[in-house]
Amino acid sequence: MRKSSNPKEVRDRAVLEIIGKVDKVIGPVVHAREIDRARMLDLVEVGEDHLVGEIVKLDGERAVIQVYEDTTGLAPGTDIYSAGVPLSVDLGPGLIGTIYDGIQRPLEVIRDTSGQYIQKGIHVSSLDKEKKWGFTPVMETGVDVSGGETVGTVQETELILHRILVPPEVAGKITWVAGAGEYTVEDVVAKVEDGSGEEVEIRMSQKWPVRRGRPSTARKPLSIPLISGQRVIDTLFPVAKGGTVVVPGGFGTGKTMIQHALSKWSDADLIVYIGCGERGNEMTDVLIEFPKLIDPRTKRPLMERTIMIANTSNMPVAAREASIYTGITIAEYYRDQGYHVAIMADSTSRWAEALRELSGRMEEMPADEGYPAYLPTRLAEFYERAGMVQTLGGADGSITIIGSVSPPGGDFSEPVTQHSKRFVRCTWALDRQLANARHYPAISWVDSYSEYIDEISGWWQENSGGEWVELRRRIMDLLQQESKLQQVVKLVGPDVLPDTQRIILETCTMFKNAFLQQNSFDQIDMYCVPEKQVKMLQIILEFYDQGLESIKKGATIHQLKRMEVVSDIMRMKFAVANDEIEKIDELRDKLTRSMERIAEMFE
């Protein structure tokens, strides 16, 4: 085999060798011949531009390669290179705050190197190899260690203490640890003598194959909700830390905005945002706005706990397919450090379309709507990497996956939506009519569901004085009754209903407008703490209970609607700040007094 001497290379202790030649090129799919010493999923570089690709099919001396870059100009007969390693990501200090493409190339570095467009074959390091980080050792020489344990720490940002971990497959006795000081990601900070007597060097950074999940000691039950500050999510359709959510919705229903809100407001320690095949203008808004945002909980820049992967719809389609694996592997690395990570995958439909295009070019047998038959398997593999785990180091960490789906024409029966719903336990279905009525978040309370209620009810009961489960059950019952009554109203109007039923309609209208609808541009309403959510729900149900009693005594629905306190309840989401929730108790007292005055009229 001949070794490559391409001067454009930037290599990490890996030597490239020629393993074959290009036979034919079909878009991003390259057929190779004369293949020697290659394995499935090996990383390769194709042609004199060294286009990055991955072997996805082997047949004797022939192979099929999916290339993550533009193959224009690539000709049969050109060389194919490989170092015999799978597609992997660099894991170490410097990930946070960086914007990567689908195969972990830092876009800002590429811009500074090649201008506004990504040049073919450009190779840049995923981590800054010149920057020095302050390392503090936590292990001593002579200590027995195993994979996942912490040998030292680096303060990566003000919010994240980065733990330098022993690689999962390494175990033995520490023979040397670097002292406190400044080191680069390539520097050795510890040495471990394994069971065979060989000395293993532990560096500040490590590599991990993207298609193989990082190991953990055990899966743990889910019991803590991911608090988003969005009332329709936290109260009606909550997700647990370590859970999975799918957000299906047609064009313009607010999928991306929900993920933006969760990125900003959720109480995850770290956010990995994957812009997978989205429109360039949407991703541009994210890239421009996110660095300006301040984390409302810590008052620090939001990028200090965010990693972004941008692979827009005009970028190479094969890199789009790899982007979600890049994102989930980075998330697992921080999970192993004991952090709670939330992944925003926007959108899995574009990722599935990349699978479909690559499958078609490889002439595989199509299944539903042209998607490959292994689409459900790939979706399951992705969502199964979520969960709450006990890490190899003994800490608790979690990954929560929130994946949006963009069904063509808003048809929820299409394959990606249907298969995604099979593998998740929570669905936030976006409704076109709500979006058209400017009711945001446009999450349908009819079509959405969450299977995490029982698991997280203990947390909510502890933090709501034991009322959350019953309050949620009652309001969901009222919404179901209202849905049935609306069918009558559409036929004959509301006036034919008795006031005992019209109070249900009024209560649900109040709940939708004063509780479910949330203004992301209002300084108070953009985020709602759990305590405020519970008190808002209490007063709305108080209106129903006391109003029903007043109607039974002779009051009319019109008298109840004209009460001044009704307007106050409708405005409470804007008028009562998160640190002033005692004002809602004052509002409940005012409601009680108003109802008593009406009741006195009929005594």
Asked whether residue 209 is domain-assigned, the answer is no
In this predicted structure, the answer to whether residue 157 has a pLDDT above a threshold of 90 is: yes
Q: Are residues 196 and 261 in the same domain?
A: no
Residue 351's alpha-carbon distances to 95, 281, 347, 356, 510, in angstroms, are 23, 18, 7, 9, 39
Q: Residue 5's pLDDT band (boundaries 50, 70, 90)?
A: very low
Per-residue pLDDT at 10: 39
115 falls within a domain? no
Q: Which of 86, 121, 155 is the last residue of a domain?
A: 86
Residue 70 C-alpha from the chain's centroid:
28
Cα Rg, the chain, nearest whole Å: 28
- 118 occurs within a structural domain: no
**Do 446 and 508 fall into the same domain?**
no
Shared-domain flag, residues 198 and 333: no
User: The CATH number of the domain where 244 resides is what?
Assistant: 3.40.50.300
574 backbone φψ class: left, alpha, beta (φ>0; ψ -120 to 50): alpha
Q: What is the pLDDT of residue 316?
A: 79
Reported as a single tens digit per residue, the pLDDT across 376-429 is: 999 999 999 999 999 999 999 999 999 999 998 889 999 999 999 999 999 999
Tell me what pLDDT residue 463 has: 87
Output the six-digit token pair for 281. 């203008």
Q: Residue 362 falls within a domain, yes or no?
A: no
Give the structural domain span for 441: 218-350+388-406+426-456
Query: Are 148 and 73 in a shared domain?
Result: no
108 phi and psi, to 5 degrees?
-65, -35
User: From residue 530, how far is each of 132, 207, 432 by CA, in Å?
Assistant: 41, 40, 28
- Residue where a domain stops, chosen among 52, 67, 86: 86
Which pLDDT score, from 0 to 100, does residue 385 have? Answer: 97
- pLDDT tens digits for range 116-154: 777 787 888 999 999 999 999 999 999 999 999 999 999
pLDDT band, very low/low/confident/very high, at 4 (cuts 50, 70, 90): very low
CATH of the domain at 68: 2.40.30.20
Residue 592's SS3 state is helix
Q: How many angstroms separate the Cα of 547 from the Cα of each of 214, 353, 556, 557, 563? A: 56, 52, 9, 8, 11
Would 190 be classed as within a structural domain? Answer: yes
Phi, psi of 506, rounded to the nearest 5 degrees: -65, -40
Q: What is the band of 280 on the pLDDT scale with cuts at 50, 70, 90?
A: low
Instruction: Please report which confidence band the pLDDT of residue 107 belongs to, taking 50, 70 and 90 as the band edges.
Output: confident
**Judgement on whether residues 400 and 309 belong to the same structural domain of the protein:** yes
Both 196 and 285 in one domain: the answer is no
Q: Would you say how long the chain is, in residues?
A: 603
**Host H or E run for residue 207:** strand 206-209
Confidence of residue 12 (pLDDT cuts 50, 70, 90): very low
Q: Is 516 left (phi over 0), alpha (psi -120 to 50) or beta?
A: alpha
Is 60 exceeded by the pLDDT of residue 9?
no
Same domain, 6 and 146: no
Q: Is 229 within 8 Å of 262 (Cβ atoms)? A: no
Between β-strands 244-248 and 396-405, what pairing exists: parallel, antiparallel or unpaired? parallel
Determine, yes or no, domain membership for 27. yes
**pTM above threshold 0.85:** yes
Q: How far is CA 521 from CA 126, 248, 257, in A?
A: 36, 24, 12
Cis check: omega of the bond before 441, within 30 degrees of 0: yes
Eight-class DSSP state of 10: -
CATH of the domain at 148: 2.40.50.100
**pLDDT tens track for 60-79:** 999 999 999 889 999 999 99
The answer to whether residue 462 is domain-embedded is no
With respect to residue 493, please indicate whether it lies within any of the assigned structural domains: yes
CB contact at 8 A, 381 and 365: no
In the sheet where 199-203 sits, what is the strand order?
Answer: 144-145, 172-177, 188-193, 199-203
Residues 436 and 568 in one domain: no
* Structure confidence at residue 382 (pLDDT): 96
Tally of structural domains, the chain = 4
Q: How confident is the model at residue 87 (pLDDT cuts 50, 70, 90)?
A: very high
Q: What is the DSSP string of 311-373?
A: E-TTS-HHHHHHHHHHHHHHHHHHHTTT-EEEEEEETHHHHHHHHHHHHHHTTPPB-GGG-BT
Q: What is the pLDDT of residue 14?
A: 56
Considering the domain architecture, whether residues 171 and 240 belong to the same structural domain is answered as no
Say if residue 231 is in the same domain as residue 171: no
Q: What is the mean pLDDT of the chain?
A: 91
Three-class SS state of 464: coil
- State the average pLDDT over residues 269-286: 81
Whether 444 and 547 map to the same domain: the answer is no
Q: Pick from 204, 229, 253: which residue ends a domain?
A: 204
Q: Which of 41-55, 188-202, 282-296, 342-356 has the lowest mean pLDDT?
A: 282-296
Spacing of C-alpha 263 from chain mean position:
8
How confident is residue 8, by pLDDT bands cut at 50, 70 and 90? Answer: very low
Residues 279 and 337 grouped into a single domain:
yes
CATH number assigned to the domain comprising residue 573: 1.10.1140.10
